[in-house]
Structure 1
Amino acid sequence: MTLVAVITGGTSGMGLDVAQRLDESGLWKVHILGTNQQRGEEAAAPLNNTTFHQVNVTSYQEQATTFDKIFNEHQRLDFVFANAGKAPSPPINAYFAKHDTGIPPEPASMDLLNINFTGAIHTCYLAMHYFRRSPEETKGNRHLLLNSSIGGLYPCVQIPLYSAGKHGLVGFTRSVGKELWEEGVKVNAICPGVVITPLLTPEMKAIYAEKIRIPMENVTGIVLKILSGNQVTDSKGVRVPGEELYSQVILIVGKNYYFVDHPEYFDEETSLTHSDMMITQSEQERRS
């Protein structure tokens, strides 16, 4: 049995590192998506079980056509890593630019939301469509993983639109995880700190100390733990059984990783309101 993975932003950095580990296991057929044809072909060339597809994640049609092609080839989908992302360089971005008179120009950095948030949501939407068409026996072992950021948990004054998009991915994961688990899909998000990837530009290195930078293999290790289906224990000893590993948000910093819960309930009304907000479609149908 060959498992099938789709990784956006898979031609370099964390996406490629995960692809390489899956490829070398011999258990997976891996499809990496990226915009740069040359880089993608060079990334896939030394890998035996990996195919590159030139795709711009900001184009829904390009993503949809590629997902459909992959599914028609394999008739199954087991793992989707919504990993494609971009950080502005230099980090202090045009959103804070000052303009003396007249109507200011549209912020140039708005494309960050299209890549980091909208593109990822489209990836998830397509993943669910093809998970549903996969063999029934794959239910419970289908994985949708979103690559958020430490900037999706804490504010970042240097790159506010990047942080906003990554916060959105955390909220999306927590919002859809319960409903999609009823369909046998485990949706989780990872929130790495400053990872040593091609996105770590010289300008960013000047801001983020070497002490806090994370090797890519630390992140890949967490991804593989999630895919294993086994119990995962974080650096504080919090244990999450494999069958409960969905709607989880995992912070990765240094050599450590932590399950991050949603904000506390301040009173009974807060708790009850949120409880009503989390009623799934099937629960609504059972109540009606």
Structure 2
Amino acid sequence: MITMPKTAYVTGGASGIGKAVAEMLAGRGIRVAIADVNIGQAEAVARTLPGAATAVALDTATWDSQVSAFKAVLRDFGRIDYVYAIAGIGEKVWIPNDPTSTEFAKPNLKVLDVDLSGVLYTCALAIQQMRRQEPDETGFRGKIAVTASVCGFYCVSTLPVYTAAKHGVVGFVRSYGKHLPDEAITLNAICPNVVRTNISNEVFYSLMESQGLLVPMDSVVQAFEQCLDSNMSGETLEIEPKTGIVSRTGPEPLDKEAEETLKLLHQRGAALQAIGAKLE
């Protein structure tokens, strides 16, 4: 059993939700590492935090950068108890809308690279490291929380790639998050509606605020604290400005045949998650 001081790794911690979570963690006596593409801003935030916080440069969309940042923090901390995959970007033009063109443009999938692959990269690092760690005094090897969005539940027709990415994150958490507790690891997703961050512009946020539609940052931080302080795993917490934080369950099987098929799919996939499973 490990009783060392707790440590946390936060991607996107230089601003927005990541910064708020880093401040919450540091306020609880947890030593924080901020990993962000804006290293100057990350270092500035780290200097404001108690507990010898640190910062490291990270390009979330790149596996090599993810490994380098994670290893650097691990060398410093020795152990990482909590991992927060929060770095993200908003929708971009993914294909041009030019009916006069006779060429075919390669789609811009940067949003998938950051908001889906980047989250999976961070989770992959966290899970592999946590499996090597002894359980702490609470019985856990580690806890992971990621930022998704209400776009992981609902469909926004003008934000197709962002919506696809967030649906992917929600699906990953709802599935793998129910498997990991057997290994003393938890995985949950925070799915807020619109929060004032750098992902959009102030004109949009002012409009949302005037209609009472902005989710308070305090509510988002509270949702992360719920994951930190509980044994829950595989949960997706929606956050709305008035209703607050609600755990949203996935759809039930349509019929008996669907239910039985899902059981068989679960059995079929078990070997892929067993100890000793190797990449093909």
TM bucket normalised to smaller: 0.7 to 0.9
Tell me what 1:237 maps to: none
Mapped partners of 2:202, 2:135: distance in 1: 48
Amino acid at match of 2:224: V
**2-side partners of 1:151 and 1:132: how far apart?**
31
Contact 1:179 1:281 in 2 (8 A): no
Cα deviation code 1:129-163 (max 9, x no counterpart): 11112223364362111110001110112211011
Q: Which letter maps to 1:274? A: L
| Partner residue, 2:277 | none
Q: CA deviation at 1:101?
A: 2.8
User: Percent identity of the aligned residues?
Assistant: 28
Contact 1:76 1:133 in 2 (8 A): no
Match of 1:232 in 2: none
Q: Distance in 2 between matches of 1:220 and 1:159?
A: 25
> Which residue of the partner structure matches residue 226 of structure 2?
225
- Distance, in Å, in 1 between the alignment partners of 2:12 and 2:250 is 28
2: CA distance, partners of 1:104 / 1:152: 29
Which of these residues, 247, 257, 274, is aligned with residue 269 of structure 1?
A: 257
Could you say which residue in structure 1 is the equivalent of 2:179?
179
Aligned residue type for 1:254: P
The 10-residue stretch of structure 1 (137-146 or 179-188) with the greater mean CA deviation from structure 2: 137-146
Structure 1 residues 161 and 204, CA, compared in 2 at 3 Å: closer, same or farther? farther
Provide the C-alpha distance between the structure 1 equivalents of 2:261 and 2:174, rounded to a whole number of angstroms: 15
Equivalent residues of 2:39, 2:57 under 8 A apart: yes
Matched, 1:190 2:190: yes
Return the alpha-carbon distance in structure 1 between the equivalents of residues 64 and 272 of structure 2: 33
CA displacement 1:70-98 (0-9 Å, x = unmatched): 22332222111111100136xxx344623
User: Equivalent of 1:70, from 73, 85, 105?
Assistant: 73
Residue in 1 that maps onto 2:110: 111
Matched residue SS, 2:106 = coil
Q: TM-score, normalised by structure 1?
A: 0.85
Q: 2:235 aligned to 244, 248, 252, which one?
A: 248
Tell me the residue number matched to 1:36: 38
RMSD across aligned positions (CA): 2.2
| CA distances 1:57-80 after superposition (whole Å, capped 9, x unpaired) | 111111112212222332222111
Residues 97 and 270 from structure 1, CA distance in 2 versus in 1: closer, same or farther, beyond 3 angstroms?
same
One-letter identity of the residue aligned with 2:173: T
Question: 1:257, CA displacement in angstroms?
Answer: 1.4
Q: TM-score, normalised by structure 2?
A: 0.88
Aligned length: 266
**Deviation by residue 1:101-124 (Cα, 9 ceiling, x = unmatched):** 31232233x111101001110000
Alignment partners' CA distance in 1, 2:219 and 2:271:
38
| CA drift at 1:206 | 7.2
For 2:105, give the aligned amino acid.
P
- Tell me how far apart the structure 2 counterparts of residues 69 and 260 of structure 1 sit (CA, whole Å): 36
User: How far apart are 1:284 and its partner, in Å?
Assistant: 9.2
Which runs of no fewer than 5 residues in structure 1 stay unpaired?
A: 230-241
1:214 aligned residue = 215
* Contact 2:187 2:234 survives alignment (8 Å): yes
CA distance in 2 between counterparts of 1:97 and 1:184 reads: 48
Q: Which residues of 2 match residues 47-66 of structure 1 at below 5 A?
A: 47-49=49-51, 50-66=53-69
Query: Relative to structure 2, which stretch is displaced further, 55-64 or 202-211?
Result: 202-211
Counterpart position of 1:165: 165
**1:130 and 2:90 equivalent?**
no
SS of residue paired to 1:135: coil
Q: CA deviation at 1:198?
A: 2.2
Long gaps (5+) in structure 2 = 275-280
Q: Aligned to 2:136, what secondary structure does the other structure show?
A: helix
Shift of 1:249: 1.0
